[in-house]
Amino acid sequence: MQPLLFNLESDPSLFAELAEELDAELGALEQRTFPDGETYLRIHSDCQDRLVIVLCNLYHPDDKWLKLLFLSDTVRDLGAQKVALITPYLPYMRQDKRFNEGECVTSRPFAKQLSGMVDLLITMDPHLHRYHSLDEIYSIPSKVVAAAPLIAQWIRTQVQSPLLIGPDSESEQWVSQVASLADAPFQVLEKTRFGDRDVSVSAPQLAAYQTHTPVLVDDIISSGHTMLETISHLQQAGLPRAVCIGVHGIFAGEAYAQLSAVADVVTTQCIAHQSNRISVAQALAAGLNALIHETT
């Protein structure tokens, strides 16, 4: 039986591509908001004994959380065999420890609740820093789809003489893999964070790379300050205009305007944005198919 694919508040073009890749029937979902702000949700598709896939991209998660709960609960109540969530961006991964007394380590309760809401989880390059695997906090089977091969392919065809730069130690896992696949040199810098928009990044060693195109690679671009700080070193050293590649372009506030003024900004399709140049639908669909195969 064809799987049923619902789009909950997520990119329609990614949804259409996923439907084709997964050969899925499009789920019919009726939603509206009552005058008091509460949500009405009704499913018009037959869910009985079917794999139900929900594309709900959980950036800005607080706005989508209840709707995902209502949808997943309802499809289960209507007889779905399994509910698989595709969220290209997995939120609440960066608070992975109690940095200050009394803080909520949000990654943990978020993972605990989401593990109760769906049966399978597919995402792309979540921010794994102090956690080494999603299994440390998620109790459901999950599949992490890597953006590195897609980014490397883009660099190979679009950038001449790239020098890859990871702005902090966490980025090494992505930048080293991209560098190996793109057959390019790379450096990883040290970042110190003083506040949400206040970071310092160590200077790269650029003497041997004066004619290379610097390509910054990071998983998340949020305020853009990590990238901006790194670019200031490159500008001081007189390198050509940089390319900034983010797997997840969140671009809070003025981040995109500030960054695109000083660099070419490229993101994957994980979060819909004008900077999207790297498609992810095929890789996400393959990840879901592999996870289904592994868990049946």
Q: Which is nearer to ligand R5P, 10 or 226 (CB)?
A: 226
Q: Which is nearer to ligand R5P, 221 or 266 (CB)?
A: 221
Phi, psi values for residue 148, rounded to 5° = -55, -45
**Rounded (5°) CA angle 12-18-21:** 145
Which stretch in 157-165, 200-208, 212-220, 274-282 sits in contact with ligand R5P by CB under 6 A? 212-220
| 269 forms part of the interface with ligand R5P (CB under 6 A) | no
Residues 121-180 that bind ligand R5P (CB under 6 A): 127, 168, 170-171
Beta carbon of residue 104, minimum distance to ligand R5P (angstroms, whole number):
18
Beta carbon of residue 21, minimum distance to ligand R5P (angstroms, whole number):
28
Of 82, 225, 233, 273, which lies in the binding site for ligand R5P, with binding defined by CB under 6 A? Answer: 225
Q: Which is nearer to ligand R5P, 53 or 145 (CB)?
A: 145
**Rounded (5°) CA angle 162-165-170:** 145
| 96 forms part of the interface with ligand R5P (CB under 6 A) | no
Which stretch in 67-75, 154-162, 206-214, 220-228 sits in contact with ligand R5P by CB under 6 A? 220-228
Starting at the edge strand found earlier in the chain, the sheet holding 186-188 runs 186-188, 162-166, 213-221, 242-249, 263-268, 276-278
- Residues with Cβ within 8 Å of 72's Cβ and at least 6 positions away in sequence, in order, are 54, 83, 85, 117, 118
CA distance 255 to 45: 40
**β-strand 39-43 against 29-33: which pairing, if any?**
antiparallel
Rg of the chain over Cα atoms, rounded to whole angstroms, equals: 20
Contact yes or no for 267/248 (Cβ under 8 A): yes
Count the Cβ atoms, other than its own, within 10 Å of residue 233.
Answer: 18
Q: Which is nearer to ligand R5P, 77 or 190 (CB)?
A: 190
| 219 forms part of the interface with ligand R5P (CB under 6 A) | yes
Beta carbon of residue 268, minimum distance to ligand R5P (angstroms, whole number):
14
Q: Which is nearer to ligand R5P, 16 or 272 (CB)?
A: 272
Q: Which is nearer to ligand R5P, 226 or 269 (CB)?
A: 226
- Residues with Cβ within 8 Å of 272's Cβ and at least 6 positions away in sequence, in order, are 11, 13, 14
CB-based burial of residue 254 (10 Å sphere; 0-12 exposed, 13-18 middle, 19+ buried)? exposed
Of 216, 218, 242, 292, which lies in the binding site for ligand R5P, with binding defined by CB under 6 A? Answer: 218
| 245 forms part of the interface with ligand R5P (CB under 6 A) | no
By rule CB under 6 A, what string of x and - marks binding of each residue 113-132 to ligand R5P? --------------x-----
Beta carbon of residue 46, minimum distance to ligand R5P (angstroms, whole number):
41
CB-based burial of residue 260 (10 Å sphere; 0-12 exposed, 13-18 middle, 19+ buried)? middle
Beta carbon of residue 285, minimum distance to ligand R5P (angstroms, whole number):
26
Contact yes or no for 119/143 (Cβ under 8 A): no
Task: Name the residues that contact ligand R5P, by CB under 6 A.
Answer: 127, 168, 170-171, 199, 218-226
